[in-house]
Amino acid sequence: MGMMIAGYYLPAAMAGIYVKVDANGVYHFTNVPTTSGYRLFIGDRSSKTSKRALVAYTKDPAQFEHLIKRYAKQFGVDPNLVRAIIQAESGFDPFATSIKGAQGLMQLMPETAKDLSVQDAYDPEENIRAGVRYLKQMLEKFKGNLSLAVAAFNAGPRAVQQYGTIPPYKETKNYVKKVLTYYHLYR
């Protein structure tokens, strides 16, 4: 028998440590969540079954579809662009963390997440809400120029403004191509 945690169904074989932050900002850790609001903090990587279960549960794009549609509509952004960004950023893994510290589905940098009032960058709803809002800001800042907005989402708006085009960073150039490819595939 499995359990629901933070709106996700976890198989019974799933082992790990779960965390919940209460209204006072106190962190509660457990290996057996007894109430809602807990999210996986550390998964059991010793078991192939647990690892497969974690990957399957975290990377199912369908489980995020309602959030993508809701926030794309709220902020007036094409949901296909949101899907493309998430695919390029995290491959739909809500627990993704980059080497540079970007977190969650839309890979928000901690400073950006803080500016957008995100409490938990690994919470899919908070991450998508803030990520779509930030994407909308980039689209507005670069007057709807999709390539520049996507480049700014990756490298930051200052870099795009400094160069007046997609910055000459290999990572950013590849990122823009990847996002635009996914975007056209989703359309």
Write the single-letter amino acid at 152: A
Spatial distance between the Cα atoms of 88 and 176, rounded to a whole number of angstroms: 9
Spatial distance between the Cα atoms of 148 and 131, rounded to a whole number of angstroms: 16
B/e letters for 21-42, b = 16+ CB within 10 Å, e = fewer, are eeeeeeeeeeeebeeeebbbee
144, containing H or E segment: none
The catalytic site residues sit at 89
Spatial distance between the Cα atoms of 44 and 168, rounded to a whole number of angstroms: 40
